[in-house]
């Protein structure tokens, strides 16, 4: 599933949505359902990891006198 690791968040979400649709339709065999479920779990984990990395990059800009940026502080509690 190394191809999942290379996916962007948007591509992984689209693939996950397709997996969910396919599973919800109930038209796939049991074996294929299990494979889709495993793929969905990997896609979900990948999306969660990308979101966590993005959250860690989000910063709150602190302003000093005169409204000038003085630095940044990591945002917590997202």
pLDDT of residue 57: 72
According to the model, what pLDDT value does residue 56 have? 73
Q: What is the pLDDT of residue 59?
A: 59
Averages of pLDDT over runs of 10 residues in the chain (78 residues) are: 91 97 95 97 97 76 65 62
Enter the tokens of residue 8: 């962007």
What total number of domains does the chain contain?
1
Residues 6+ apart with CB under 8 A from 65: none
pTM: 0.73
CA distances from 39 to 7, 44, 64, 70, 78 (A): 13, 9, 48, 45, 27
Q: Which long-range contacts (CB under 8 A, 24 or more apart) does 67-76 make?
A: none
Q: Which domain holds residue 67?
A: 2-74
Whether 58 and 78 have beta carbons less than 8 Å apart is answered as yes
């Amino acid at each position: 599933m190394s191809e999942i690791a290379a996916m962007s968040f948007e591509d992984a979400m689209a693939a996950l949505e397709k997996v969910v649709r396919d599973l919800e339709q109930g038209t796939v065999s049991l074996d294929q359902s299990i494979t889709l479920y495993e793929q969905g779990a990997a896609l979900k984990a990948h999306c969660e990891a990308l979101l966590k990395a993005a959250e860690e990059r989000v910063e709150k800009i602190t302003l000093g006198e005169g409204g000038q940026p003085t630095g940044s502080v990591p945002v917590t509690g997202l």
